[in-house]
Amino acid sequence: MELQNKIAIVTGGASGLGKAIVQMFLENGSKVVVLDIDQQALNTLEESQNILKLVCDITKEEEIAKAIEQTKEKFTKIDILVNNAGILYSEPLISIMSEQKRHSKEKWQKVIDINLTAPFVLGSYVAEQMVTSRTKGVIVNISSISAKGNAGQSAYSAAKAGLESMTKVWAKELGGFGVRCVAIAPGFMDTESTHIAVNEKILEEMKKQTPIKRLGKAEHIASAVKFAIENDHISGKTLEIDGGLVL
């Protein structure tokens, strides 16, 4: 698939990894629909006929449905979905030093809703559009190496593992319609959300354990997304972009 004149939806595309992915699409001649809950962050994106910026809470199905309709009204079709939006959250299952002790069920549900349920709902809406319009599209799910099981991340690891399994299921179900599905699993990234969610001492330790001794950049993930879309023989796989780190 060539990116020129393709229509791509990117969730969480107003900052961090998502913003780098949006920029990659625009630089390669794609038209991009950016879904983000943060209006101020959306305002920082360039104004262009090739970009549609929509405030959208992806945990609400009615807002997803509205965004899909707005996308069709402006660009008529959808070629690519990048399920990028998510939250990185760390909390041990049991913490004897805290008042609550056990992992918060509320936080568990929030992480699952944003990182797993929302991509499922978006994927179902976009796949429906691709199949009914006979569009040979691509769905890219942004996972994490934490899907392998990272200590202190029960909810996040479970959500990302589920996302990778869902990627395989969709690849099998949609392949006959010409729709591919690929997951990208970043390692520890030098982004604002990582520095907020992960202790700096842990990040320094991760850099030491990584063969190339550095954190990844948002541009590395954007490049991986481009590769996954352009290579027509990749489907159902997870591409780990982690600098050689193995959890």
Q: How confident is the model at residue 203 (pLDDT cuts 50, 70, 90)?
A: confident
Report the C-alpha dihedral over residues 93, 97, 99, 100, rounded to 10 degrees. 0
pLDDT tens figures, 146-169: 999 988 899 999 999 999 999 999
Q: How confident is the model at residue 201 (pLDDT cuts 50, 70, 90)?
A: confident
Fold held by 7-241: Rossmann fold (3.40.50)
Model confidence, pTM: 0.93
State what percent of residues in the chain have pLDDT above 90. Answer: 79
State what percent of residues in the chain have pLDDT above 70. Answer: 99
The residues assigned a catalytic role are 156
The 3-class SS string of the chain reads CCCCCCEEEEECCCCHHHHHHHHHHHHCCCEEEEEECCHHHHHCCCCCCCEEEEECCCCCHHHHHHHHHHHHHHHCCCCEEEECCCCCCCECCECCCCCCCECCHHHHHHHHHHHHHHHHHHHHHHHHHHHHCCCCCEEEEECCHHHHCCCCEHHHHHHHHHHHHHHHHHHHHHHHHCCEEEEEEECCECCHHHHHHCCHHHHHHHHHHCCCCCCECHHHHHHHHHHHHHCCCCCCCEEEECCCCCC
pLDDT tens figures, 94-123: 998 888 899 999 999 999 999 999 999 999
Q: How confident is the model at residue 245 (pLDDT cuts 50, 70, 90)?
A: confident
Distance spanning both ends of the chain, measured CA to CA: 32
pLDDT at 247: 66
Report the C-alpha dihedral over residues 172, 81, 59, 113, rounded to 10 degrees. 40
Lowest mean pLDDT of 11-25, 45-59, 135-149, 210-224, name the range.
210-224
Residue extents of the structural domains in the chain: 7-241
- Beta bridge partners of residue 183, listed in sequence order: 141, 238
Cβ–Cβ < 8 Å for 157, 150: yes
Q: How confident is the model at residue 33 (pLDDT cuts 50, 70, 90)?
A: very high
